Amino acid sequence: MKYFITGSAGFIGFHLARVLLEQDHDVFGYDAMTPYYDVTLKQRRQEILERHERFGHVVAKLEDRSALERALTEFAPEVVVHLGAQAGVRYSLENPQAYFDSNLVGSWNLFDIVKDMGLKHLLIASSSSVYGANEKIPFEETDRADEPLTVYAATKKSMEVLAHSYSHLHNLPTTAFRFFTVYGPWGRPDMALFKFVSAILKDEEIELYGQGKVRRDFTYIDDLIEAILRLADVPPAEANRVTDGTVIDTLSRHAPFRAVNIGGGRPIDVEALVDAVERALGRKARTRLLPMQKGDVPQTFASPDLLQALTGFTPRVDVTDGVRAFVDWYRSYTQTG
């Protein structure tokens, strides 16, 4: 199978590409290598992928339509996994333009180019952030997602809506997967786990917003990749509509389009995450409790029922084990990086 992955040098894209290459698929990566965080980390990921003879790539922005069209046309993929985006909830408060450019203009470029390519499946990365101010838990895909609290969330929800229209107009099988706080080896430096480990090892204070009571449904990277791969084999169609009566399928009545949560449905508070880090490091953290940050939500909590019904899989790695794996990687990376 031929997979085209946007954001291939990013945290999730790197892991996905590596697994696909190990399974002997052909993979083409498209990444802008933007300096939102340390480009060295992206380059190290890219170097690992380049060791595989079935991997090709180009460095360009999604907003560069001609470069994107050239790469897609020449590679002629069967499946496209759209992970490339301007990430980060808090950064969207500082630089909203980056989110409109990448997440909206860039995504539109991609949809408009692939609409007539005869793809078997287009998978697009959305986020639990689209649930915004939703107070009902756990978050189900059929819940309202019309009250985003950040520009990041608004662009992700807008991308879903745009994708549905292209799916309808061009019969393009599309799955939007909403992931929940992904973590693990090779993770981003702007994420809480990376920051906590780095600070504790330096005996620096860590900041816990929401007085440390913010709850997140953490998803280990290997679980996320497993879920994406399984979803890739289930392109939205009436033939695979879930009809068991206990799960509400999001398969559109007007398009081959579906939204699916990827999360285990086991939220923990941030203080519990810190505890797991302390145990993995064998060190105590110095913490400072702070109020909620603007745009933050008090809790994310995925319903994994639709994912389970479609794929037979629910994320299962415990945070204790996942944090330990991250700490092992971090120590190795910082010694050699």
> Residue 302 forms beta bridges with which residues?
139
Three-class secondary structure of residue 17 per DSSP = helix
**Angle separating helix axes 192-201 and 270-281, nearest 10 degrees:** 40
Place of tokens 């079935």: 54
* Closest listed residue to residue 176, CA positions, set 228, 213, 224: 228
Give DSSP secondary structure letters for 119-140.
-SEEEEEEEGGGGTT--SSSB-
User: Are the CB atoms for 60 and 78 separated by under 8 Å?
Assistant: no
Which tokens hold the place of 49? 């992928």
Cα separation values, 35 from 64, 76, 98, 160, Å:
17, 29, 12, 26
Three-class secondary structure of residue 4 per DSSP = strand
Which tokens hold the place of 267? 């939220």
> Residue 208 forms beta bridges with which residues?
289
* Closest listed residue to residue 75, CA positions, set 34, 113, 125, 48: 113
Q: Catalytic residues, which ones?
A: 152
In eight-state DSSP terms, residue 226 is H
Place of tokens 């994320």: 315
Full strand arrangement of the beta sheet holding 2-6: 55-59, 26-31, 2-6, 79-82, 121-127, 174-179, 257-262
Give DSSP secondary structure letters for 156-217.
HHHHHHHHHHHHHHHT--EEEEEE--EE-TT--TTSHHHHHHHHHHTT-EEEEEGGGT-EE-
Which tokens hold the place of 276? 């797991």
Three-class secondary structure of residue 12 per DSSP = helix
